[in-house]
Amino acid sequence: MKTNNKLFFIGIVEEASEEKAKILIFPDYCSGLKGIEDFSHLIILYWIHLRATEKERRTLLVFPRRHAVGIEKGVFACRSPSRPNPIGLCVVELLNVEDCILTVKGLDALVNSPIIDIKPYNPRTDAVSDAHVPEWAS
């Protein structure tokens, strides 16, 4: 089976603050935004460009900082930005859509982070009511 393993960035984070962020979708992908204004929340997948070095991409064990845990964990058991494929995921509130620019709240990406994909958040399929996490992650 032949596959195409190319990744296309569809946009970039233009502005980012705690209150709001602006995501510019490149003109070639702007028509893909049609109907997005009907959703209150989105899932943003982005490239953690500052961690895309060979050293960071070889990192498999980390000490989770947000949880102040002094126990080493695997990158697949936490949200470390250092990982083999530095892909970030964030659920954001959609505040506005104007042309090819999304204004969102809650984005944890930095300015100039390339956008990989956008998906509408659907609470029926994206929320898991009986999910559990280890005590250190609570």
Q: What is the pLDDT of residues 82-127, one digit of tens each?
A: 999 999 999 999 999 999 999 999 999 999 999 999 999 999 999 8
Confidence of residue 1 (pLDDT cuts 50, 70, 90): low
Q: Which two tokens stand for residue 64?
A: 């989770």
Confidence of residue 4 (pLDDT cuts 50, 70, 90): confident
Q: Which amino acid is at 111?
A: V
Taking the model in full, what pTM does it have?
Answer: 0.90
C-alpha closest to that of 23 among 120, 108, 117, 104? 104
Q: For the stretch 50-69, what's the b/e string if a residue is b when 16 or more beta carbons lie within 10 angstroms of its beta carbon?
A: ebeeeebeebeebebeebeb
User: What's the N-to-C CA distance of the chain in angstroms?
Assistant: 42
Looking at residue 129, what is its pLDDT?
A: 87
Domains of the chain: 10-48+86-122 (2.40.30.70), 53-84 (no CATH)
